[in-house]
Amino acid sequence: MDNESTGQKVTPQGSVLLLDDDKFLLDMYSMKFTAAGFMVQACFSAEDALKALRGGFQADAVVFDLVMPERDGFSFLEALETEHLAPGVIKIALTNQGNDTDKERAEKLGVSRYIVKASMIPSEVLAVVKEEIAKRKSK
């Protein structure tokens, strides 16, 4: 089934934008989400992610790292807000940063879930994203 306005395939699970500067993790999560029926846009940098959103990619959820070269996850979140990109998108931080200061800052910028990479295996991350999308769709 196509979304006529963007030409994107509409999948039952939804669409996810993945943002991480770790190619191995980006590839692994891309395969995991694709296999679960999601449309995935994988981005290696915040600039690539912003370009995809500016270009019309409509994500149900954005799963992103906080620590990246050039433009970090906080700067990415601020750009989403400033440019009014992906309004209403579910923002999920997937990071190695486990300190409360970063978590509070992310939550102030609209993050729904804050996941420390070492605390969850990929299938659990997938389950969290599915749960958040299901909650949003049921509202």
The series of mean pLDDT values per 10 residues for the chain, 139 residues long, is: 46 88 95 96 96 96 93 94 93 92 94 94 95 86
Asked if 60 and 17 count as a contact pair (C-beta separation under 8 A), the reply is: no
**15-138: CATH, from 3.30.590.10, 3.40.50.10810, 1.20.120.1200, 3.40.50.2300:** 3.40.50.2300
Return the domain boundaries, the chain. 15-138
Asked if 17 and 59 count as a contact pair (C-beta separation under 8 A), the reply is: yes
Q: Report pTM.
A: 0.88
